[in-house]
């Protein structure tokens, strides 16, 4: 064989994949610019993507192999004997890391990793049943219960992650084909006139939209919408409204051991339709965010996606209301979601935001994915504002700078001696982080009619196809998020007039978040300036939050955006009682925290930062992979003496000696203890 043959093959296949994807354009809103079109080599994201490829993904695969995720497929294929390892959602963890590997390998070719991935895919495919079914746990031991207890057993969650992985592998026709057979198997059982039922952990819905786009087969989009529309209805062989009085749960005998009794009672509780899995009402009637935050985020993301590709009456009203509820009343400053006050890993009531938060890493990722889809659906920068917030803060805090240690929960306050963990057996979070960082490039741009939308600023290069064979190439040079100067150079342009829409972040216009859940302590809004080829142009965004530039661009044209980045004090809405008298610090999109390791005053809960004391920013290339720190004169509670307080980006905490941490701290002296 010609030694160049493998290259030629890869090129053809990846081009074929790109062509297939481009065929399915949304009916409304914007189209993504895929991560494969965006190179982030230097700047903020380059080192992180490299760490994901070189450290996180191989490490995650090692851990999953050790825990038996791969072995389960061998058992299902009949190559090995024995009971399945782990729980019924085990397959999904492997799929997520392989999805991340698919993105990473496109940017950092790595022959050993590629061979390892290919070998794993073969072992997975070998386990697929003749009828298309592919969940190792049920193939090994419970063939007759494949689709029982859909709310507890995560069948669809596994399937969804399989579809997402397959859609991320455009060059692997056999995997996409296998995903289609699995999806068709599901579509043969569930759907109008068949079985009416929904999963307990949403994910398959947004994944089916991806499968639809990767294959052009509309039945997958219809199945996605079916699973969304069946929420809040009775399950069975016909569609009927849900009647809570008719829920039949199996009795739990008194004479069982206590642990077993508790287990059965819990299972019965989950059988009863509830808000935990957003199955308490039809989706178009859901106006308030309730329940498990990851499930909610994936479901809202799927709703936004479905609405972009087909008619879905009622979806937009629900999405608008859910968005206002989450962003205006239930979101942490970091973009994190979920208090777990109801032990459902989910939302509390409006403004109930204890800093000892749950904020699962997966919930922040689901939040990013939802906001991205809202930004695409509505072409409005405020959604990208929240996406950016949740990405830089809520999501990144889940993974160490080196890429090999993790948090499952990301509270806004932590006790001394909190440490990240090298792995987490219930590995949804580390595996989700393994796939989100390699795909960050795919969050940065979007395409409208003859217009490129720049949603995130980061050093790198993008090739943007505008349709009709038109292509624009852009290069961003910037130290963002440490500096608000962004230079965009057009390196290849279309012959006709083309739009470039620049998002002017809300944080640069006086709003740390859309709405009034969090506000800056002062009203200053430093000017935003914009130059095209050195000449100043108006930088005032439209109602949609973008400045729209339109001209016949030539290669070498430059756009210079300057966003001032003063350090800012942030206050929470007065109804967030936990933060009364407290302040948080932000600079640009970055939320800061105090880590006890940086303070001479170790009692983070009692020190304070008087409102008049100035904040200064200093970039420290030597610290935490290069970060800008904030400093101010704080007051120690014990002595009343001033001391220099140092704040670091909240995402970067717990990368040094074990330490306490707080995002919110006192602005006024702590009340005397007796008042507590």
CB-wise, 38 or 362, nearer to Zn ion? Answer: 362
293 scored as a contact of Zn ion (CB under 5 A): no
- Under rule CB under 5 A, residue 428 binds Zn ion: yes
> Is residue 365 a contact point for Zn ion (CB under 5 A)?
no
Looking at the Cβ atoms of 197 and 360, the one nearer to Zn ion is: 360
**Could you say which DSSP state residue 337 is in?**
B
User: Cβ 359 to Zn ion, closest distance in Å?
Assistant: 11
429 binds Zn ion per the rule CB under 5 A: yes
Stretch that binds Zn ion, among 139-147, 262-270, 354-362, 655-663 (CB under 5 A): 354-362
d(CA 347, CA 359): 10
Pairing of strands 485-492, 470-478: antiparallel
Angle subtended by helix axes 173-189 and 111-126, to nearest 10: 30
- 3-state SS class at 250: coil
How many CB atoms are closer than 10 A to CB 529? 15
204-215 vs 173-189: helix axis angle to the nearest 10?
Answer: 130
For helices 361-378 and 293-309, angle between their N-to-C axes, nearest 10 degrees? 20
Helix, strand, coil share of the chain (percent; to 5)? 40, 20, 40
**Nearer of residues 406 and 507 to Zn ion, judged by Cβ:** 406
Phi and psi based region of residue 602 (left: phi greater than 0; alpha: psi -120 to 50; beta: remaining): alpha
**Residue 298 beta carbon to Zn ion: minimum distance, rounded to whole angstroms:** 11
Rounded Cα distance, 161 and 181, in Å = 15
Q: Which stretch binds Zn ion (CB under 5 A): 191-199, 358-366, 487-495, 624-632?
A: 358-366
- Closest separation between CB of residue 433 and Zn ion, Å? 9
Map residues 515-554 to x or -, x wherever contact with Zn ion holds by CB under 5 A: ----------------------------------------
Which residue lies nearer to Zn ion by CB, 429 or 446?
429
Token reading at 250: 């199996």
Query: Nearest residue to Zn ion, using CB?
Result: 362
Q: Which is nearer to Zn ion, 152 or 637 (CB)?
A: 152
CB of 423 to Zn ion, least distance (A): 13
Identify which range of 50-58, 135-143, 420-428, 433-441 contacts Zn ion by CB under 5 A. Answer: 420-428
Q: Which is nearer to Zn ion, 176 or 365 (CB)?
A: 365
- CB under 5 A: which stretch of 308-316, 352-360, 449-457, 619-627 binds Zn ion? 352-360
Least distance to Zn ion, CB of residue 199, Å: 17
**Runs of H (alpha helix) within 134-281:** 136-141, 150-153, 155-167, 173-189, 204-215, 218-229, 258-271
| CB closer to Zn ion, 294 vs 452 | 294
SS3 call for 465: strand
Binding Zn ion by CB under 5 A: which of 362, 364, 456, 576?
A: 362
Q: Tell me if 327 sits within 8 A of 386, measured CB to CB.
A: yes
Interacting span for Zn ion (CB under 5 A) from 40-48, 230-238, 424-432, 661-669: 424-432
Pairwise CA distance, residues 166 & 182, whole Å: 11
> CA 457 → CA 127, 453, 493, 640, distances in Å?
43, 11, 20, 42
Radius of gyration (Cα) for the chain, nearest Å?
Answer: 25
Q: How far apart are CA 655 and CA 623, in angstroms?
A: 10
Minimum distance from CB of 124 to Zn ion (Å)? 22
CB nearer Zn ion, residue 97 or residue 362: 362
Contacts of 449 (CB under 8 A, 6+ apart): none
- Which residues, listed in sequence order, are joined to residue 568 by a DSSP beta bridge? 586
**Count of residues in contact with Zn ion, rule CB under 5 A:** 4
Q: CB of 593: closest distance to Zn ion in angstroms?
A: 21
Nearer to Zn ion, 386 or 428 (CB): 428
Q: How far is the CB of 596 from Zn ion (least distance, A)?
A: 27
Q: Which range binds Zn ion by CB under 5 A, 80-88, 427-435, 467-475, 645-653?
A: 427-435
- 3-class DSSP assignment, residue 123: helix
**In sequence order, what are the residues at sequence separation of 6 or more whose Cβ sits closer than 8 angstroms to the Cβ of residue 269?**
none
Q: How far is the CB of 152 from Zn ion (least distance, A)?
A: 17
169 binds Zn ion (CB under 5 A): no
Q: Please say which residue, 95 or 457, places its beta carbon nearer to Zn ion.
A: 95
257: preceding bond cis by omega (within 30 degrees): no
Which residues form the interface with Zn ion (CB under 5 A)? 360, 362, 428-429
């Amino acid at each position: 064989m010609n030694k160049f043959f493998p290259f030629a093959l890869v090129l053809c296949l990846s081009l074929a994949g790109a062509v297939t994807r481009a065929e399915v354009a949304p009916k409304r809103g914007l189209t993504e610019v895929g991560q494969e079109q965006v190179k982030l080599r230097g700047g903020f994201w380059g080192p992180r993507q490299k760490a994901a490829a070189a450290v996180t993904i191989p490490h995650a695969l090692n851990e999953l192999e050790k825990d038996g995720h791969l072995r389960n497929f061998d058992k299902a294929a009949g190559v090995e004997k024995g009971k399945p390892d782990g729980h019924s959602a085990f397959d999904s963890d492997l799929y997520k890391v392989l999805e991340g590997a698919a993105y990473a390998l496109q940017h950092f070719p790595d022959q050993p990793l590629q061979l390892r991935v290919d070998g794993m895919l073969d072992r997975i495919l070998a386990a697929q049943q003749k009828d298309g079914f592919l969940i190792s746990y049920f193939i090994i031991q419970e063939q007759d219960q494949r689709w029982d207890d859909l709310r507890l057993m995560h069948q669809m969650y596994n399937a969804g992650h399989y579809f997402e992985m397959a859609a991320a592998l455009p060059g692997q026709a056999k995997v996409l084909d296998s995903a289609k057979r699995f999806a068709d198997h599901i579509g043969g059982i569930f759907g109008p006139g068949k079985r009416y039922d929904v999963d307990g952990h949403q994910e398959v819905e947004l994944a089916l939209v991806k499968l639809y786009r990767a294959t052009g087969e509309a039945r997958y989009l219809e199945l996605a919408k079916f699973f969304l529309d069946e929420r809040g209805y009775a399950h069975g062989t016909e569609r009927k409204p849900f009647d809570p009085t008719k829920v039949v749960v199996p009795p739990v005998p008194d004479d069982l051991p206590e642990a077993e009794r508790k287990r059965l009672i819990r299972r019965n509780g989950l059988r009863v339709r509830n808000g935990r899995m957003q199955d308490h009402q039809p989706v178009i009637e859901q106006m308030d965010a309730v329940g498990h935050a990851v499930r909610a985020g994936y479901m809202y993301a799927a709703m936004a996606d479905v609405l972009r590709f087909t008619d879905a009456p009622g979806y937009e009203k629900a999405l608008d209301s859910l968005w206002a509820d989450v962003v205006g009343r239930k979101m942490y400053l970091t973009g994190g979601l979920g208090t777990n006050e109801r032990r459902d890993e989910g939302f509390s009531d409006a403004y109930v935001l204890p800093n000892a938060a749950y904020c699962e890493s997966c919930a922040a990722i689901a939040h990013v994915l939802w906001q991205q889809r809202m930004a695409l659906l509505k072409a409005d920068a405020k959604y990208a504002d929240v996406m950016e917030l949740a990405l830089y803060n809520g999501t990144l805090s889940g993974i160490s700078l080196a890429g090999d240690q993790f948090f499952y929960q990301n509270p806004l306050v932590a006790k001394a001696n909190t440490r990240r963990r090298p792995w987490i057996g219930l590995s949804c979070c580390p595996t989700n982080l393994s796939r989100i960082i390699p795909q960050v490039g795919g969050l940065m741009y979007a395409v409208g009619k003859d217009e490129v939308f720049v949603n995130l600023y980061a050093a790198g290069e993008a090739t943007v196809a505008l349709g009709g064979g038109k292509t624009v190439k852009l290069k961003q040079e910037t130290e963002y998020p440490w500096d608000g100067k962004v230079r965009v150079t057009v390196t290849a342009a279309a012959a006709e007039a083309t739009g470039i829409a620049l998002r002017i972040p809300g944080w640069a216009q006086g709003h740390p978040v859309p709405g009034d859940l969090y506000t800056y302590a002062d009203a200053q809004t430093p000017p935003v300036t914009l130059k095209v080829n050195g000449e100043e142009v108006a930088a005032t965004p439209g109602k949609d939050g973008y400045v729209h530039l339109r001209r016949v661009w030539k290669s070498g044209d430059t756009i210079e955006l300057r966003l001032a980045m003063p350090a800012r004090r942030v206050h929470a809405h007065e109804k967030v009682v936990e933060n009364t008298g407290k302040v948080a610090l932000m600079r640009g999109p970055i939320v800061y925290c105090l880590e006890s390791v940086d303070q001479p005053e170790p009692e983070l809960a009692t020190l304070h930062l008087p409102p008049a004391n100035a904040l200064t920013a200093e970039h420290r290339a030597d610290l935490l992979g290069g970060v800008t720190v904030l400093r101010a004169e704080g007051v120690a509670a014990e002595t009343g003496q001033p001391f220099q307080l140092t704040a670091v980006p909240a995402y970067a905490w717990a990368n040094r000696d074990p330490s306490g941490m707080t995002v919110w701290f006192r602005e006024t002296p702590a009340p005397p203890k007796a008042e507590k």
